[in-house]
Amino acid sequence: MSRIPLGVLDLIPIPSGSSASDALRHSIDLARQTERFGYARYWFAEHHLNPGVAGVSPAVALALTASATSSIRIGSGAVQLGHRTALSTVEEFGLIDALHPGRLDLGLGRSAGAPTPRPAGDEPFVGFTPNGLRIPERFSFAHLLGHPNVALQRKLLNLPGARPQDYAEQVDDVLALLRGEYRSPEGIAARAVPGEGADVEVWILGSSGGQSAETAGRHGLRFAANYHVAPASVLEAAEGYRAAFKPSAELDRPYLSVSADVVVAPDDATARELAAGYAPWVRSIRAAEGAIPFPSPDEARALTAGWSDAEHALVADRVETQFVGSPRTVADHLERLQEATGADELLITTITHDHADRVRSYRLLAEEWSRR
């Protein structure tokens, strides 16, 4: 199983009592450490208006991390295309590639749009796969679509009157600019310099078998399915991608990465203690309050004391699919995830209140994984 590479997905979380500068320094240190531990990739996510998350610009974080590391691949997981242009994205990554060629992964994600509707009568699988992977009930984000905080984020991220480009069209433009093949509808060429000819791997990230999976498959690109964000639809996402896949110059077969939230400690009890802050942290996101600074175990217990059934239900799918425990416990869970999805790689997200515990979690997992 050690032939299945492990990567890192980092949100640049801000623990309670810390600052954004502390969080960024810790993330750069974690990138150095995980490079030494043997992880294959280090990706930065993009989130906005979250008091507890400093990962607002993958390109900036990557530029800083590239200079602090030497061999680990670095990338975005993902750039949110809904509030930026294809040209600005290609130029930003082209700048980094100019000094650090051959190490960049350009992960592209959807944003600023409604979820892809499910086909009528298509009932999702709920329960456990034959090998024991938990697939929970689907969480509905409908309550967030009209939330004032969500509307404010869209307002602040977009120029007045701007309309986000269709995601599939924008991916087409990104690929054309990278290849030097872009032409406007009038036939005018555009040259992205830097960016054109950049030696980057393009990935599509998605949480379902909808537009993202179809776009990745149609272009023959690598696809990352988000079990850590949407565990209910990970099988659908993997199947949708493979069904849509067409061989390309880059890939002759589908190539899938699957993400997971994990916390590893020397024993199960310690890991559960370190993961105590996860539930209130997820609740703050799903209530559209913005991610809170990641709480300590004591703070987490105070925050969750007296929670209603509705509050527990708000985070249930994420909490029950977080892999928490000893190195052996978590590696067993990850093997089930890989087997159930057929993933070629796994992407690991770990958040703890203390930076040393986070580094140790990645180290213990890498050591256990190498023995499999």
Say what the pLDDT of residue 144 is: 79
Of the pLDDT bands very low, low, confident and very high (cuts 50, 70, 90), residue 109 is: very high
pLDDT tens figures, 149-159: 989 998 999 99
**Side-chain-side CA neighbours of residue 239 (13 Å):** 7
Of the pLDDT bands very low, low, confident and very high (cuts 50, 70, 90), residue 142 is: confident
Strand, coil or helix: 28: helix
**Residue that the structure tokens 């993997």 belong to:** 238
- Among 48, 47, 56, 82, which residue's Cα sits nearest to residue 162? 82
**Side-chain-side CA neighbours of residue 26 (13 Å):** 26
Say what the pLDDT of residue 140 is: 85
Say what the pLDDT of residue 42 is: 98
Say what the pLDDT of residue 58 is: 98
Say what the pLDDT of residue 3 is: 86
> Average of pLDDT values for 207-229?
96
> Average of pLDDT values for 49-74?
97
Helices (H), 38-147: 58-68, 86-99, 142-145
**Mean pLDDT (the chain, rounded):** 95
Give the domain ranges of the chain.
6-370
Strand, coil or helix: 123: coil
Fill in the amino acid letter for 126. V
pLDDT tens figures, 6-44: 999 999 999 999 999 999 999 999 999 999 999 999 999
Of the pLDDT bands very low, low, confident and very high (cuts 50, 70, 90), residue 117 is: low
- pLDDT at 122 > cutoff 90: no
pTM, to two decimals: 0.95
Distances (CA, A) of 274 to 26, 211, 297: 17, 36, 6
Token pair for 238 = 């993997």
Residue 261 forms beta bridges with which residues? 349
Q: Where are the beta strands (DSSP E) in the chain?
A: 6-10, 41-44, 73-76, 79-80, 104-109, 127-128, 134-135, 200-206, 222-225, 256-264, 323-325, 345-349
Q: Work out the burial of residue 141: count CB atoms within 10 Å of its CB; fewer than 13 is exposed, 13-18 middle, 19 or more buried.
A: middle
Topology, domain 6-370: TIM Barrel (3.20.20)
